[in-house]
Structure formats: structure tokens, C-alpha cells
Amino acid sequence: MSEAAREKWDARYGADGYEPSEEPVPFLRERVGDLGSGSALCLAAGTGRNAVFLAERGFAVTAVDISPRGLAWACALAQRRGVEIEIVAADLLSYDLGTAAYDLITDFYFYEPDLFPAIGRAIKPGGRFVFQTFSVAQAAMSGGPSNRAFMVEQGDLLAAFADWRVRYFEDTVVEDQAVVRLIAEKR
């Protein structure tokens, strides 16, 4: 499964003419002031648009993704912008996120609910988790994932973070995408 994911994303990021977006997810840009400071772990960081944005704002960033080709784009973007980020090529389904290691963890467009307990362990008390991905409402719209398992049911997400202080939650449509957005603070 994960080997298939690496092949799929390496093929996408290595395709002729592929040019990744260098702009962070707008929700991250809008809300970065609510995310504190310190160390940040960017899960499924892809080509690094969000990781580099956080490094530019002073976070010490670790970017993890299964795709070496995606991470090569992330390295190049960081170099061009004059910031450093730590790059880790790893399968998040088996990678050890650590314990109380990060002030911030980000997850954009990678929905893997089995990872939520490890995210909870890896964030320091008072640290934040910021998340955005497609909601189940995307199934009735064009574009987005073809597999419903990659779309979030808002009740499932809020249940997973019931013990956290939810500082922001939205189930909405932005730019023709049905998304859920969450900022949760670990107690």
C-alpha cells in the first residue's frame, strides 16, 4: 500500500512539466498567528510549500513525506527562499513521530485517522495541530479524491480531538473544494 503511494506520488512529482505550487495553503497563511512558535513537524509535506512558509516565519521545521521526488522539490524551494528545513523521507504509517517533540504539527490533504494518536503523543502540552483536507461533501462535487476513505466526516474528526481544546473548526466550501479545517491545542 505504502510502496504504491510512493510510486504514485513520485510519478506525479516527477512528471514532465510538473510545477508545484509554492504558495502555502491559504488557511495556514491566514491562521499562522494562532499557531505559536518553536518546532514544527509537517506531515505529508509534499513539495514543501507549507514547510518552507513556516520556516520563513521562524519555525524549526521537519518535513516528512513518502516521496523523495516531492522532498527534492521541497529542498530546492527552501534553498531558493534562503531557509533550512529538515527533510525526512519516510512512510508515516510506520514512522515514529516521537513524544512531546513538537510545538506544532501540520497535516494538509493527507487523511490518515490511525495517525491521530501518534500526533497526540508527539505534540507538546499547549502545542497545536493544524489540519485541512477534503470533507465527505466533496464526493458530490467535481475533483478531489476518488476514494471516500480520504474524505473526512466532521463528527469523526471532532471525536478524535474531543480531549483537546478546539480553537478553530470549519466545515466549508472554499474555491470549489469542500474541506474541513481544524486547529486544536493539546491540553
Residues that bind ligand SAM (CB under 6 A): 2, 5, 9, 25, 44-46, 49-50, 65-67, 70, 91-93, 108-110
Q: How far is the CB of 8 from ligand SAM (least distance, A)?
A: 8
Return d(Cα 185, Cα 109) in angstroms, integer.
20
Quick one: 65 or 103, whose CB is closer to ligand SAM? 65
- When the beta carbons of 111 and 161 are compared against ligand SAM, the nearer one is 111
Distance between CA 104 and CA 101 in Å, rounded? Answer: 9
Judged by beta carbon, residue 1 or residue 162, the one nearer ligand SAM is: 1
Closest approach, Cβ 163 to ligand SAM, in A, equals: 25
Q: How many CB atoms lie within 10 A of CB 146?
A: 7
| Contact assessment for residue 102 and residue 127, using Cβ atoms and an 8 Å cutoff | yes
Min CB(166)–ligand SAM separation in Å: 21
- Nearer to ligand SAM by Cβ, of 44 and 160: the residue is 44
Taking each helix axis as running N to C, give the angle between helix 68-81 and helix 49-56, from 0 to 180 degrees, rounded to the nearest 10: 30
Q: Which is nearer to ligand SAM, 76 or 126 (CB)?
A: 76
How far apart are CB 92 and ligand SAM at their closest, in Å?
A: 4
Residue type, 118: A
Distance CA 94, CA 112 (A): 12
Nearest Cα to Cα of residue 31 among 102, 113, 118, 108: 108
- Work out how close the CB of 39 gets to ligand SAM at its nearest, in angstroms, rounded to a whole number: 18
Look up cell 494538509; give the residue: 108
